[in-house]
Every structure is written in C-alpha cells, then in structure tokens.
Amino acid sequence: MLAFAVAGALLSAVAWSQAGRQPVDWANVSLESIGGGPLPTGDYAGKVVLLVNTASLCGFTGQYKGLEALWRRYKDKGLVVLGVPSNDFGGQEPGSKEEIKRFCEASFDVTFPLADKQIVTGANAHPLYRWAAAQTGTIGTPSWNFHKILIGRDGRVIDWFTAVSGTGSKLERAIEAALAAKG
C-alpha cells in the first residue's frame, strides 16, 4: 500500500513539473460562488470541509439530498460541504451557473456553498483540485461526478470517497472523526 502511495505522489510531482504548475496552499485558494462573489477557502480555516464535484444530469445527482442532510446535521459542529459543479465527466453539467443554482435549490433544497462550474481534472483543473491531487496522488483525483474529498481542520486531506460510496455511514463516520479531532 505504501508503495502505491509513494508512486502516486511521485506521479503527481512529475505531472506538476511537466505542467509547469506548483500546487497551492489550501488557505490561499479562492473560488467564485455560484451566486456571485468570492468563495475563499481561507474562510474555512479550522473547519472540516467535504469537497464534492457535482453534476445535475448524473446518475448520482440524487446525492445532493444526502450532502444537504450532512450539511444540516454537522454545519454547527464545524463541517462545510462545498459543492463544485463540473462538466468534466460525460457533459453532465451543461447548464449556466444560474441554471445549476436554480436546479439545486428547486430539486434538492441545497443550502450548502456552491462554487461556479469548474474543471476538476487534468492540466486545466482549478487550483483547488490541483492542490487536492498533490495531497492524495492520482488515486484521490476525481474519476467521476460526486467524488468527495474530506479535508481536516488542519487543512490536510484526510480521505476521499468515490461517487459510488454515496453519503452513507463510512463517509459519516469519517466526518464525525474529523470533527472530533483537534486541528
């Protein structure tokens, strides 16, 4: 297992070098909110963040409901669910930011923070996702919509969960452990 982690880290380092880009510090990244205005990750210092790339036309789109439930259950304890719409996989997020926002609010009553649509994979990925890839290696990089990256209070990636893992008990246990940890 360690060999895979080391290999993944080396591959990530090579990819960064080849792309001519360096990973950024989590606290210095900013996204644009889907409603307009900045969404700086520095505002989440000391909180646990569940970073999720989302899509409105995906077979996993129903996970918005579970993400909203997690947000409502744990936000007062320090959890931030941060949705990042992306059209990277199967063209399943073709809408404008206004359409995406309207869909999320009307269909799933989403109240957790949503960023504007971003690229989450490859050389043109948003700096936040490049940072996460540097933390996890290639195995933690989204391979489909609703990939979840759990970031601890200390600003380090704790774990990641594929789309198929949903928002069930394994993810919830990881969130509870992260919230209980001192950062």
Distance CA 106, CA 2 (A): 45
101: which 2 tokens? Answer: 């926002």
Beta bridge partners of 171: none
Q: Which of 24, 45, 57, 58 is catalytic?
A: 58
| DSSP H or E stretch at residue 149 | strand 148-151
Exposure string for 38-48, b = 16+ CB within 10 A, e = fewer: ebebeebeebb
Cβ within 8 Å of residue 127, ≥6 positions away: 23, 24, 29
Cβ pair 100, 69 in contact under 8 A: no
Active-site residue, 104 included: no
Q: Catalytic positions, please?
A: 58
